[in-house]
Structure 1
Amino acid sequence: MQRYFLNADGVLNQHYQIIDKDDIHHIKNVMRQNLNDQFIVNFDNAVMVGKITEIADTITFHTIEQLDIQTELPVQVTIASGLLKNDKYEWMIQKATELGASKFIPFISDRTIIKVDDKKMHKKIERFEKIVKEAAEQSYRQVIPNIEFVKNSKALVEKIQSFDHVFIAYEEVAKSGETKSFVNALNSVEQGQSICIIFGPEGGLSEQEVAMFGGQTIGLGPRILRAETAPLYALSAMSYQLELK
Protein backbone atom coordinates (compact mmCIF):
# COMPACT_ATOMS: atom_id res chain seq x y z
CA MET A 1 0.00 0.00 0.00
CA GLN A 2 1.40 3.40 -0.99
CA ARG A 3 2.62 5.63 1.83
CA TYR A 4 2.51 9.41 2.20
CA PHE A 5 3.57 11.93 4.86
CA LEU A 6 1.34 14.57 6.42
CA ASN A 7 2.68 17.21 8.79
CA ALA A 8 -0.14 16.98 11.34
CA ASP A 9 -1.27 14.90 14.30
CA GLY A 10 -3.60 12.11 13.23
CA VAL A 11 -6.87 11.13 14.91
CA LEU A 12 -8.98 8.13 13.94
CA ASN A 13 -12.26 8.68 12.12
CA GLN A 14 -11.37 12.20 11.03
CA HIS A 15 -11.03 13.81 7.60
CA TYR A 16 -7.76 15.28 6.32
CA GLN A 17 -6.51 16.76 3.09
CA ILE A 18 -3.36 16.15 1.09
CA ILE A 19 -2.30 19.43 -0.53
CA ASP A 20 1.24 18.63 -1.66
CA LYS A 21 1.24 18.87 -5.47
CA ASP A 22 3.66 15.99 -5.97
CA ASP A 23 1.60 13.73 -3.71
CA ILE A 24 -1.63 14.69 -5.48
CA HIS A 25 -0.05 13.96 -8.86
CA HIS A 26 1.23 10.62 -7.58
CA ILE A 27 -2.17 9.58 -6.21
CA LYS A 28 -4.10 10.69 -9.31
CA ASN A 29 -1.79 9.97 -12.21
CA VAL A 30 0.78 7.43 -11.03
CA MET A 31 -1.20 5.20 -8.68
CA ARG A 32 -4.50 6.08 -10.45
CA GLN A 33 -6.43 5.79 -7.21
CA ASN A 34 -10.16 6.35 -6.99
CA LEU A 35 -12.78 7.04 -4.34
CA ASN A 36 -12.65 4.52 -1.46
CA ASP A 37 -9.11 3.42 -2.35
CA GLN A 38 -6.74 3.30 0.58
CA PHE A 39 -3.20 4.38 1.38
CA ILE A 40 -0.99 4.68 4.45
CA VAL A 41 -0.38 8.08 6.02
CA ASN A 42 2.56 8.92 8.28
CA PHE A 43 1.30 11.57 10.67
CA ASP A 44 3.57 13.28 13.19
CA ASN A 45 2.19 11.12 15.99
CA ALA A 46 0.98 7.90 14.34
CA VAL A 47 0.71 5.79 11.21
CA MET A 48 -2.81 5.30 9.88
CA VAL A 49 -4.74 3.91 6.94
CA GLY A 50 -6.69 6.52 5.02
CA LYS A 51 -9.64 5.97 2.65
CA ILE A 52 -10.12 8.49 -0.14
CA THR A 53 -13.42 10.37 0.11
CA GLU A 54 -12.91 13.15 -2.44
CA ILE A 55 -10.59 13.72 -5.38
CA ALA A 56 -10.36 17.32 -6.57
CA ASP A 57 -7.60 19.93 -6.48
CA THR A 58 -6.71 18.30 -3.17
CA ILE A 59 -7.18 14.74 -1.93
CA THR A 60 -9.52 14.29 1.03
CA PHE A 61 -9.33 11.09 3.05
CA HIS A 62 -10.84 9.58 6.18
CA THR A 63 -8.64 7.79 8.76
CA ILE A 64 -10.00 4.29 9.36
CA GLU A 65 -7.25 2.33 11.13
CA GLN A 66 -4.14 2.97 13.21
CA LEU A 67 -1.15 0.74 12.49
CA ASP A 68 1.30 -0.50 15.10
CA ILE A 69 4.53 -0.68 13.11
CA GLN A 70 8.17 0.20 13.66
CA THR A 71 10.46 0.73 10.69
CA GLU A 72 13.00 3.13 12.19
CA LEU A 73 16.48 2.29 13.46
CA PRO A 74 16.66 2.11 17.27
CA VAL A 75 19.14 5.01 17.19
CA GLN A 76 19.12 8.34 15.36
CA VAL A 77 21.91 8.37 12.78
CA THR A 78 23.10 11.55 11.10
CA ILE A 79 25.35 11.28 8.05
CA ALA A 80 27.69 14.28 7.79
CA SER A 81 29.39 13.97 4.43
CA GLY A 82 31.52 16.17 2.25
CA LEU A 83 29.62 17.13 -0.89
CA LEU A 84 30.35 14.87 -3.86
CA LYS A 85 30.58 15.67 -7.55
CA ASN A 86 27.96 14.85 -10.19
CA ASP A 87 24.96 12.94 -8.82
CA LYS A 88 26.88 10.81 -6.32
CA TYR A 89 25.58 12.67 -3.28
CA GLU A 90 21.99 12.35 -4.48
CA TRP A 91 22.43 8.61 -4.97
CA MET A 92 23.96 8.27 -1.52
CA ILE A 93 21.21 10.10 0.36
CA GLN A 94 18.53 8.14 -1.49
CA LYS A 95 20.02 4.79 -0.46
CA ALA A 96 20.96 5.99 3.02
CA THR A 97 17.34 7.04 3.57
CA GLU A 98 16.24 3.53 2.65
CA LEU A 99 18.76 2.19 5.19
CA GLY A 100 17.46 4.35 8.04
CA ALA A 101 19.46 7.60 8.26
CA SER A 102 17.55 10.25 10.17
CA LYS A 103 19.46 13.36 9.05
CA PHE A 104 22.03 14.50 6.50
CA ILE A 105 24.59 17.28 6.93
CA PRO A 106 26.32 18.02 3.62
CA PHE A 107 29.38 20.22 4.11
CA ILE A 108 32.29 21.72 2.21
CA SER A 109 35.36 19.78 3.27
CA ASP A 110 39.01 20.73 2.76
CA ARG A 111 39.09 18.29 -0.17
CA THR A 112 35.64 18.92 -1.65
CA ILE A 113 35.96 19.16 -5.42
CA ILE A 114 32.73 20.90 -6.41
CA LYS A 115 32.12 24.62 -5.93
CA VAL A 116 28.69 25.93 -4.92
CA ASP A 117 27.32 29.36 -4.03
CA ASP A 118 24.37 30.05 -1.73
CA LYS A 119 21.85 30.27 -4.59
CA LYS A 120 22.94 26.98 -6.15
CA MET A 121 23.06 25.30 -2.75
CA HIS A 122 19.48 26.35 -2.00
CA LYS A 123 18.32 24.65 -5.20
CA LYS A 124 20.40 21.58 -4.39
CA ILE A 125 18.84 21.29 -0.94
CA GLU A 126 15.35 21.47 -2.45
CA ARG A 127 16.25 18.62 -4.78
CA PHE A 128 17.84 16.64 -1.94
CA GLU A 129 14.67 17.04 0.15
CA LYS A 130 12.52 15.72 -2.70
CA ILE A 131 14.82 12.71 -3.14
CA VAL A 132 14.76 11.71 0.54
CA LYS A 133 10.99 12.21 0.78
CA GLU A 134 10.38 9.83 -2.14
CA ALA A 135 12.91 7.36 -0.73
CA ALA A 136 11.23 7.48 2.70
CA GLU A 137 7.85 6.75 1.14
CA GLN A 138 9.21 3.90 -0.95
CA SER A 139 11.01 2.24 1.97
CA TYR A 140 8.12 2.57 4.45
CA ARG A 141 9.97 4.96 6.70
CA GLN A 142 8.02 6.72 9.43
CA VAL A 143 10.00 9.96 9.22
CA ILE A 144 11.57 11.98 6.42
CA PRO A 145 15.26 12.67 7.07
CA ASN A 146 16.17 16.30 7.64
CA ILE A 147 18.88 17.98 5.53
CA GLU A 148 21.02 20.84 6.87
CA PHE A 149 23.92 22.28 4.88
CA VAL A 150 26.98 23.74 6.62
CA LYS A 151 29.59 25.74 4.75
CA ASN A 152 32.80 24.27 6.14
CA SER A 153 34.39 21.89 8.60
CA LYS A 154 34.59 24.51 11.36
CA ALA A 155 30.83 25.04 11.16
CA LEU A 156 30.32 21.28 11.35
CA VAL A 157 32.27 21.15 14.61
CA GLU A 158 29.60 23.32 16.22
CA LYS A 159 26.80 21.10 14.91
CA ILE A 160 28.18 17.84 16.30
CA GLN A 161 28.47 18.95 19.91
CA SER A 162 24.94 17.82 20.79
CA PHE A 163 25.32 14.18 19.67
CA ASP A 164 25.75 11.30 22.09
CA HIS A 165 28.41 9.77 19.81
CA VAL A 166 30.54 11.16 16.99
CA PHE A 167 32.33 8.65 14.76
CA ILE A 168 34.77 9.66 12.02
CA ALA A 169 35.16 7.27 9.10
CA TYR A 170 38.87 7.64 8.39
CA GLU A 171 40.52 5.61 5.66
CA GLU A 172 43.91 5.69 7.40
CA VAL A 173 42.39 3.46 10.10
CA ALA A 174 41.43 0.89 7.45
CA LYS A 175 44.84 1.16 5.77
CA SER A 176 46.53 0.32 9.06
CA GLY A 177 44.72 -3.03 9.13
CA GLU A 178 42.52 -2.20 12.14
CA THR A 179 39.13 -3.94 11.86
CA LYS A 180 37.51 -3.73 15.31
CA SER A 181 37.13 0.01 15.93
CA PHE A 182 33.63 0.27 14.46
CA VAL A 183 32.38 -2.81 16.31
CA ASN A 184 33.83 -1.50 19.56
CA ALA A 185 32.25 1.89 18.96
CA LEU A 186 28.82 0.36 18.34
CA ASN A 187 29.10 -1.70 21.52
CA SER A 188 28.99 1.58 23.46
CA VAL A 189 25.78 2.75 21.75
CA GLU A 190 22.46 2.51 23.58
CA GLN A 191 18.96 2.47 22.14
CA GLY A 192 17.54 5.92 21.52
CA GLN A 193 20.90 7.70 21.39
CA SER A 194 22.00 10.09 18.65
CA ILE A 195 25.01 9.32 16.47
CA CYS A 196 26.80 11.44 13.90
CA ILE A 197 29.13 9.67 11.47
CA ILE A 198 31.42 11.96 9.49
CA PHE A 199 32.61 11.01 6.01
CA GLY A 200 34.93 12.83 3.69
CA PRO A 201 34.39 13.64 0.01
CA GLU A 202 36.46 12.17 -2.80
CA GLY A 203 39.99 12.19 -1.41
CA GLY A 204 38.83 11.74 2.18
CA LEU A 205 39.17 13.96 5.23
CA SER A 206 42.36 15.88 5.96
CA GLU A 207 44.38 15.19 9.10
CA GLN A 208 43.50 18.68 10.32
CA GLU A 209 39.78 18.00 9.96
CA VAL A 210 39.99 14.69 11.82
CA ALA A 211 41.78 16.42 14.69
CA MET A 212 39.27 19.28 14.66
CA PHE A 213 36.21 17.03 14.86
CA GLY A 214 37.55 15.25 17.93
CA GLY A 215 35.31 12.19 17.66
CA GLN A 216 36.23 8.53 17.59
CA THR A 217 37.92 7.41 14.37
CA ILE A 218 36.63 4.17 12.89
CA GLY A 219 37.51 1.92 9.98
CA LEU A 220 34.97 0.30 7.71
CA GLY A 221 36.63 -3.01 7.01
CA PRO A 222 39.87 -3.82 5.20
CA ARG A 223 38.83 -2.33 1.85
CA ILE A 224 38.87 1.35 0.90
CA LEU A 225 35.33 2.38 -0.05
CA ARG A 226 34.17 5.15 -2.35
CA ALA A 227 32.83 8.27 -0.68
CA GLU A 228 29.26 7.46 -1.73
CA THR A 229 29.53 3.81 -0.63
CA ALA A 230 30.99 4.25 2.86
CA PRO A 231 27.83 5.69 4.52
CA LEU A 232 25.77 2.79 3.17
CA TYR A 233 28.24 0.26 4.53
CA ALA A 234 28.14 1.95 7.93
CA LEU A 235 24.33 2.02 8.06
CA SER A 236 24.12 -1.63 7.02
CA ALA A 237 26.59 -2.63 9.72
CA MET A 238 24.63 -0.64 12.30
CA SER A 239 21.39 -2.30 11.25
CA TYR A 240 22.94 -5.72 11.71
CA GLN A 241 24.48 -4.84 15.06
CA LEU A 242 21.47 -3.03 16.53
CA GLU A 243 18.44 -4.62 14.81
CA LEU A 244 19.22 -8.08 13.47
CA LYS A 245 21.55 -9.77 15.95
Structure 2
Amino acid sequence: MQRYFIDEHGNMEQFNISGDDYHHIVRVMRMKAGDEIICVTPKGKSAVCQIEEITDETVVANVVKWEEGTTELPVHVVIASGLPKGDKLELIIQKGTELGAYEFVPFTASRSIVKWDGKKAAKKVERWQKIAKEAAEQSHRSYVPEVKEPVGLKELIQASDDYTYKLVAYEEEAREGEASVLSSTLAKLGKGDSLLIVFGPEGGLTSEEVDLLYKNGFLACGLGPRILRTETAPLYALSAVSYHFELLG
Protein backbone atom coordinates (compact mmCIF):
# COMPACT_ATOMS: atom_id res chain seq x y z
CA MET A 1 0.00 0.00 0.00
CA GLN A 2 1.41 3.39 -0.98
CA ARG A 3 2.47 5.71 1.85
CA TYR A 4 2.28 9.53 1.82
CA PHE A 5 3.42 12.12 4.37
CA ILE A 6 0.70 14.68 5.09
CA ASP A 7 1.52 18.31 5.89
CA GLU A 8 -1.72 19.44 7.48
CA HIS A 9 -2.45 19.41 11.20
CA GLY A 10 -6.22 20.03 11.13
CA ASN A 11 -8.97 17.45 10.65
CA MET A 12 -7.58 14.07 11.73
CA GLU A 13 -10.43 12.14 10.06
CA GLN A 14 -9.88 13.39 6.53
CA PHE A 15 -6.79 14.50 4.60
CA ASN A 16 -6.40 16.65 1.49
CA ILE A 17 -3.39 15.67 -0.61
CA SER A 18 -1.93 17.97 -3.27
CA GLY A 19 1.36 18.77 -5.03
CA ASP A 20 3.78 16.00 -5.96
CA ASP A 21 1.86 13.40 -3.97
CA TYR A 22 -1.35 14.28 -5.82
CA HIS A 23 0.51 13.77 -9.11
CA HIS A 24 1.90 10.43 -7.91
CA ILE A 25 -1.51 9.15 -6.78
CA VAL A 26 -3.43 10.29 -9.86
CA ARG A 27 -0.92 10.25 -12.74
CA VAL A 28 1.60 7.59 -11.71
CA MET A 29 -0.43 5.12 -9.65
CA ARG A 30 -3.69 5.94 -11.46
CA MET A 31 -5.72 5.45 -8.31
CA LYS A 32 -9.41 6.20 -8.08
CA ALA A 33 -12.12 6.71 -5.45
CA GLY A 34 -12.32 3.67 -3.19
CA ASP A 35 -8.60 2.83 -3.35
CA GLU A 36 -6.66 2.77 -0.09
CA ILE A 37 -3.40 4.49 0.87
CA ILE A 38 -1.48 5.12 4.08
CA CYS A 39 -1.22 8.70 5.32
CA VAL A 40 1.40 9.75 7.89
CA THR A 41 0.91 12.87 9.99
CA PRO A 42 3.69 15.31 10.98
CA LYS A 43 3.66 13.67 14.45
CA GLY A 44 4.44 10.27 12.96
CA LYS A 45 0.99 8.67 13.29
CA SER A 46 0.01 6.39 10.38
CA ALA A 47 -3.52 5.72 9.16
CA VAL A 48 -5.04 3.52 6.48
CA CYS A 49 -7.18 5.87 4.41
CA GLN A 50 -9.68 5.41 1.60
CA ILE A 51 -9.81 7.87 -1.29
CA GLU A 52 -13.16 9.67 -1.14
CA GLU A 53 -12.78 12.08 -4.05
CA ILE A 54 -10.28 13.25 -6.65
CA THR A 55 -10.60 16.84 -7.87
CA ASP A 56 -8.46 18.74 -10.37
CA GLU A 57 -5.87 19.56 -7.68
CA THR A 58 -6.64 17.51 -4.57
CA VAL A 59 -7.08 13.94 -3.43
CA VAL A 60 -9.51 13.71 -0.49
CA ALA A 61 -8.91 10.65 1.71
CA ASN A 62 -10.89 9.52 4.77
CA VAL A 63 -9.29 7.72 7.71
CA VAL A 64 -10.36 4.06 7.92
CA LYS A 65 -8.16 3.04 10.87
CA TRP A 66 -5.09 4.25 12.72
CA GLU A 67 -2.10 1.90 12.76
CA GLU A 68 -0.41 0.74 15.96
CA GLY A 69 3.33 0.38 16.54
CA THR A 70 6.26 2.13 14.91
CA THR A 71 9.02 1.40 12.42
CA GLU A 72 11.36 4.02 13.91
CA LEU A 73 14.58 3.33 15.78
CA PRO A 74 14.21 4.00 19.52
CA VAL A 75 17.23 6.35 19.36
CA HIS A 76 17.95 9.30 17.07
CA VAL A 77 21.00 8.65 14.92
CA VAL A 78 22.38 11.72 13.15
CA ILE A 79 24.78 11.19 10.23
CA ALA A 80 27.34 13.96 9.65
CA SER A 81 29.09 13.35 6.32
CA GLY A 82 32.09 15.19 4.97
CA LEU A 83 30.93 16.37 1.55
CA PRO A 84 31.81 13.59 -0.93
CA LYS A 85 32.03 13.91 -4.70
CA GLY A 86 29.44 12.88 -7.26
CA ASP A 87 26.13 11.50 -6.07
CA LYS A 88 27.53 9.65 -3.05
CA LEU A 89 25.72 11.89 -0.57
CA GLU A 90 22.44 11.10 -2.32
CA LEU A 91 23.16 7.41 -1.81
CA ILE A 92 23.95 8.00 1.87
CA ILE A 93 20.68 9.91 2.33
CA GLN A 94 18.58 7.35 0.47
CA LYS A 95 19.99 4.21 2.07
CA GLY A 96 20.55 5.91 5.42
CA THR A 97 16.86 6.84 5.52
CA GLU A 98 15.90 3.24 4.79
CA LEU A 99 18.12 2.14 7.67
CA GLY A 100 16.54 4.55 10.15
CA ALA A 101 18.69 7.72 10.26
CA TYR A 102 17.01 10.62 12.04
CA GLU A 103 18.91 13.50 10.43
CA PHE A 104 21.71 14.21 7.95
CA VAL A 105 24.27 17.00 8.39
CA PRO A 106 26.70 17.42 5.47
CA PHE A 107 29.84 19.37 6.31
CA THR A 108 32.85 20.73 4.45
CA ALA A 109 36.01 18.85 5.45
CA SER A 110 39.63 19.62 4.57
CA ARG A 111 39.73 16.76 2.08
CA SER A 112 36.31 17.41 0.55
CA ILE A 113 36.88 17.61 -3.19
CA VAL A 114 33.47 19.17 -3.72
CA LYS A 115 33.23 22.77 -2.54
CA TRP A 116 29.82 23.96 -1.39
CA ASP A 117 28.21 26.49 -3.71
CA GLY A 118 25.96 28.71 -1.62
CA LYS A 119 24.17 29.99 -4.75
CA LYS A 120 22.87 26.52 -5.51
CA ALA A 121 22.15 25.70 -1.87
CA ALA A 122 18.35 25.82 -1.87
CA LYS A 123 17.91 23.58 -4.92
CA LYS A 124 20.50 21.08 -3.69
CA VAL A 125 19.00 20.75 -0.21
CA GLU A 126 15.51 20.54 -1.71
CA ARG A 127 16.64 17.61 -3.88
CA TRP A 128 18.27 15.86 -0.90
CA GLN A 129 15.10 16.34 1.14
CA LYS A 130 12.99 14.87 -1.65
CA ILE A 131 15.26 11.82 -1.76
CA ALA A 132 14.81 11.37 1.99
CA LYS A 133 11.02 11.69 1.69
CA GLU A 134 10.77 9.12 -1.10
CA ALA A 135 13.04 6.71 0.78
CA ALA A 136 10.97 7.16 3.96
CA GLU A 137 7.79 6.35 2.02
CA GLN A 138 9.37 3.32 0.37
CA SER A 139 10.69 1.91 3.66
CA HIS A 140 7.40 2.55 5.52
CA ARG A 141 8.83 4.97 8.01
CA SER A 142 6.69 7.33 10.05
CA TYR A 143 9.24 10.16 10.00
CA VAL A 144 11.11 11.91 7.19
CA PRO A 145 14.71 12.68 8.22
CA GLU A 146 15.71 16.31 7.91
CA VAL A 147 18.66 17.08 5.62
CA LYS A 148 20.52 20.15 6.83
CA GLU A 149 22.34 22.66 4.66
CA PRO A 150 26.10 21.93 4.71
CA VAL A 151 28.12 23.59 7.47
CA GLY A 152 31.78 23.92 8.37
CA LEU A 153 33.42 21.60 10.91
CA LYS A 154 33.49 24.31 13.57
CA GLU A 155 29.75 24.92 13.12
CA LEU A 156 29.14 21.19 13.40
CA ILE A 157 31.10 21.08 16.64
CA GLN A 158 29.17 24.06 18.03
CA ALA A 159 25.90 22.23 17.38
CA SER A 160 27.16 18.93 18.80
CA ASP A 161 26.24 19.80 22.39
CA ASP A 162 22.62 19.10 21.46
CA TYR A 163 23.32 15.35 21.20
CA THR A 164 23.54 12.78 23.99
CA TYR A 165 26.58 10.99 22.55
CA LYS A 166 28.98 11.90 19.76
CA LEU A 167 31.42 9.73 17.84
CA VAL A 168 33.81 10.13 14.94
CA ALA A 169 34.48 7.15 12.68
CA TYR A 170 38.24 7.14 12.16
CA GLU A 171 40.04 4.64 9.93
CA GLU A 172 43.20 4.76 12.05
CA GLU A 173 41.20 3.27 14.92
CA ALA A 174 40.06 0.48 12.60
CA ARG A 175 43.64 -0.24 11.57
CA GLU A 176 44.65 -0.51 15.21
CA GLY A 177 41.87 -3.00 15.88
CA GLU A 178 39.68 -0.76 18.08
CA ALA A 179 36.37 -2.53 18.48
CA SER A 180 34.82 -1.37 21.74
CA VAL A 181 33.81 2.29 21.50
CA LEU A 182 30.83 1.85 19.16
CA SER A 183 29.46 -1.19 21.01
CA SER A 184 29.96 0.38 24.46
CA THR A 185 28.27 3.60 23.30
CA LEU A 186 25.27 1.66 21.97
CA ALA A 187 25.02 -0.12 25.31
CA LYS A 188 24.72 3.26 27.07
CA LEU A 189 22.07 4.67 24.75
CA GLY A 190 18.52 4.77 26.10
CA LYS A 191 15.19 5.32 24.35
CA GLY A 192 14.96 8.86 23.01
CA ASP A 193 18.71 9.52 23.28
CA SER A 194 20.58 10.96 20.31
CA LEU A 195 23.83 9.82 18.71
CA LEU A 196 25.85 12.03 16.34
CA ILE A 197 28.40 10.16 14.20
CA VAL A 198 30.90 12.05 12.03
CA PHE A 199 32.29 10.47 8.85
CA GLY A 200 35.04 11.87 6.66
CA PRO A 201 34.90 12.37 2.87
CA GLU A 202 37.08 10.46 0.40
CA GLY A 203 40.55 10.45 1.88
CA GLY A 204 39.15 10.62 5.39
CA LEU A 205 39.54 13.26 8.06
CA THR A 206 42.89 14.89 8.76
CA SER A 207 44.61 14.30 12.11
CA GLU A 208 44.02 17.98 12.90
CA GLU A 209 40.27 17.60 12.36
CA VAL A 210 40.16 14.49 14.52
CA ASP A 211 42.14 16.24 17.26
CA LEU A 212 39.67 19.13 17.19
CA LEU A 213 36.77 16.69 17.53
CA TYR A 214 38.57 14.92 20.42
CA LYS A 215 38.97 18.23 22.23
CA ASN A 216 35.24 18.85 21.92
CA GLY A 217 34.05 15.61 23.47
CA PHE A 218 33.92 13.24 20.51
CA LEU A 219 35.12 9.65 20.89
CA ALA A 220 36.83 7.92 17.97
CA CYS A 221 35.49 4.55 16.93
CA GLY A 222 36.48 1.87 14.46
CA LEU A 223 33.97 0.14 12.18
CA GLY A 224 35.54 -3.29 11.97
CA PRO A 225 38.94 -4.32 10.57
CA ARG A 226 38.23 -3.26 6.98
CA ILE A 227 38.52 0.29 5.65
CA LEU A 228 35.11 1.40 4.38
CA ARG A 229 34.26 3.93 1.69
CA THR A 230 32.72 7.24 2.71
CA GLU A 231 29.31 6.09 1.43
CA THR A 232 29.55 2.67 3.11
CA ALA A 233 30.62 3.66 6.62
CA PRO A 234 27.36 5.44 7.65
CA LEU A 235 25.34 2.46 6.45
CA TYR A 236 27.51 0.09 8.49
CA ALA A 237 26.97 2.21 11.61
CA LEU A 238 23.20 2.42 11.11
CA SER A 239 23.01 -1.33 10.56
CA ALA A 240 24.92 -1.86 13.82
CA VAL A 241 22.44 0.40 15.66
CA SER A 242 19.48 -1.46 14.14
CA TYR A 243 20.94 -4.84 15.09
CA HIS A 244 21.63 -3.72 18.66
CA PHE A 245 18.18 -2.23 19.31
CA GLU A 246 15.86 -4.16 17.02
CA LEU A 247 17.30 -7.67 16.56
CA LEU A 248 19.67 -8.43 19.43
CA GLY A 249 17.01 -8.37 22.13
> Aligned partners of 1:165, 1:150: CA distance in 2, in Å?
21
Q: 1:173·1:219 contact (CA, 8 Å) conserved in 2?
A: yes
> Aligned partners of 1:122, 1:208: CA distance in 2, in Å?
31
209, 226, 231: which one aligns with 1:228: 231
How far apart are residue 77 of structure 1 and its match?
Answer: 0.6
Q: Residue in 2 aligned with 1:206? A: 206
How far apart are residue 211 of structure 1 and its match?
Answer: 2.0
Secondary structure at the counterpart of residue 64 of structure 2: strand
Equivalence map 1:49-198=2 (5 Å): 49-56=48-55, 57-198=57-198
Q: Residue in 1 aligned with 2:32? A: 34
Gaps of 5+ in 2: none
19, 22, 31: which one aligns with 2:20: 22
Secondary structure at the counterpart of residue 150 of structure 2: coil
Q: 1:82·1:107 contact (CA, 8 Å) conserved in 2?
A: yes
How far apart are residue 50 of structure 1 and its match?
Answer: 1.2
Secondary structure at the counterpart of residue 137 of structure 2: helix
- Is 1:238 the counterpart of 2:236? The answer is no
> Aligned partners of 1:181, 1:44: CA distance in 2, in Å?
34
Per-residue CA distance 1:9-67 (angstroms, 9 max, x = gap): 4765x222012x21111101221111011100111232111111111211111112111
Q: 2:6·2:15 contact (CA, 8 Å) conserved in 1?
A: no
Q: Normalising to structure 2: TM-score of the pair?
A: 0.94
Gaps of 5+ in 1: none
How far apart are residue 7 of structure 1 and its match?
Answer: 2.1
Q: 2:34·2:51 contact (CA, 8 Å) conserved in 1?
A: yes
Q: Residue in 2 aligned with 1:218? A: 221
How far apart are residue 200 of structure 1 and its match?
Answer: 0.6
Amino acid at match of 1:24: Y
Amino acid at match of 1:133: K
How far apart are residue 199 of structure 1 and its match?
Answer: 0.5
> Aligned partners of 1:220, 1:123: CA distance in 2, in Å?
33
> Aligned partners of 2:17, 2:164: CA distance in 1, in Å?
36
Q: Normalising to structure 1: TM-score of the pair?
A: 0.95
> Aligned partners of 2:180, 2:152: CA distance in 1, in Å?
30
Q: 1:38·1:52 contact (CA, 8 Å) conserved in 2?
A: yes
Q: 1:110·1:153 contact (CA, 8 Å) conserved in 2?
A: no
Provide the aligned C-alpha RMSD in A. Answer: 1.3
Secondary structure at the counterpart of residue 85 of structure 1: coil
Aligned residues: 243
Q: 2:108·2:116 contact (CA, 8 Å) conserved in 1?
A: no
Amino acid at match of 1:154: K
Per-residue CA distance 1:117-156 (angstroms, 9 max, x = gap): 2122222111100100000000000000001123310111
